[in-house]
């Protein structure tokens, strides 16, 4: 079998409704010229519906709507910047402090055997949303990549996004 198969998840429509893709060469954007992430963060939607785990002065944490594994979070500045060098000192400090807190929360809330932390800066590096940098914090377990992903091109997630959000939010140190 070649290519990626689709697993329909209609419950995600409310998450993406109202947000539009820019042209194929541009970043995904939301309403009013905001980035997708700015649109989510600034929307008048409760955190348990937008899956925002934490809001800081300059950064916030969002559950990834298309996770590699249950608990996959994005740590990002509140304003859209494309490069690490575009961050203010305050944003830079809060971003990396929040990444550390996210790892601690994952370990306490989900007990993963490992954690991947990383950024994809630029399209060539795999950035899907180039204009708004974000740090991926991904819990990992031995065997979490199995034959289904390899042979069927489908990820199987053992828990709904909202349930994982509740688990992480309950252990997030505020």
Annotated catalytic residues are 134
Residue 29 is given by DSSP the state: B
Beta bridge partners of 65: none
Rounded Cα–Cα distance for residues 140 and 149 (Å) = 15
Lookup: tokens for 53: 């785990």
Rounded Cα–Cα distance for residues 106 and 111 (Å) = 7
CA 173 vs CA 35, 59, 108, 111, 161: distances in Å: 27, 15, 11, 16, 20
Rounded Cα–Cα distance for residues 86 and 34 (Å) = 17
CA 36 vs CA 28, 115, 123: distances in Å: 6, 25, 16
Instruction: Select from 55, 76, 72, 60 the least CA-distant residue to 134.
Output: 76
């Amino acid at each position: 079998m070649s290519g990626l198969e689709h697993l329909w998840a209609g419950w995600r429509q409310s998450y993406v409704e109202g947000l539009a893709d820019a042209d194929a060469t541009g970043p995904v954007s939301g309403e009013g010229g905001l980035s997708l992430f700015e649109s989510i963060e600034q929307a008048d939607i409760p955190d348990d519906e937008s899956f925002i785990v934490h809001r800081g002065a300059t950064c916030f944490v969002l559950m990834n709507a298309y996770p590699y594994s249950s608990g996959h979070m994005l740590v990002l500045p509140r304003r859209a910047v494309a490069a690490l060098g575009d961050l203010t000192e305050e944003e830079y400090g809060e971003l990396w402090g929040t990444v550390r807190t996210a790892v601690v929360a994952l370990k306490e809330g989900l007990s993963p055997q490992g954690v991947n932390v990383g950024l994809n800066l630029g399209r060539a590096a795999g950035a899907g949303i180039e204009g708004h940098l974000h740090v991926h914090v991904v819990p990992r377990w031995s065997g979490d990549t199995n034959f289904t992903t390899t042979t069927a091109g489908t990820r199987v997630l053992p828990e709904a996004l909202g349930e994982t959000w509740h688990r992480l939010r309950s252990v997030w140190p505020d």
